[in-house]
Amino acid sequence: MAAGVVGCRAADPRRVRTLAAMSESSSAAARLELVTIPDCRLCDRAREALTRLAEQRGQVWAERDLTELGAPDPMWWEQVPLVLVEGQVVCYWDVDEAAVVAALER
């Protein structure tokens, strides 16, 4: 795990499947997304962190329910919540604000 990253892991590029790859209307998708499941305390914490980060940056974001969305990669069920930028997994379990900001600035 990289220095300063606590409980957040970057996606393994060999296993990455994007949200865009499974969505026909990916162009309508928000640039910043949080993938969650119901009754998930980690998801609640991630939602709070992402809300705060999005407000600070004036960024619009969307939340997607994995139980309705389906998982493009079976590992997503083990990694929820996931933060995606432009359909790419940036981090999971906890919001790594520095990684999200870096992905948004690319």
Confidence at residue 23, expressed as pLDDT on a 0 to 100 scale: 44
Distance, in Å, from the CA atom of 81 to the CA atom of 14, rounded to the nearest integer, reads 20
Q: What pLDDT, on the 0 to 100 scale, is given for residue 24? A: 40
pLDDT of residue 71: 87
User: Which pLDDT tens digit goes with each residue over 5-35?
Assistant: 334 444 444 344 444 444 444 334 579 999 9
User: What's the average model confidence in pLDDT over 22-51?
Assistant: 81
Alpha-helix runs per DSSP H in the chain: 19-22, 41-57, 66-69, 76-79, 97-105
- 38: pLDDT strictly greater than 70: yes
Residue 104: pLDDT over 80: yes
The pLDDT confidence band at residue 57, using thresholds 50, 70 and 90, is very high
How many C-beta atoms lie closer than 10 Å to residue 93's C-beta? Answer: 18
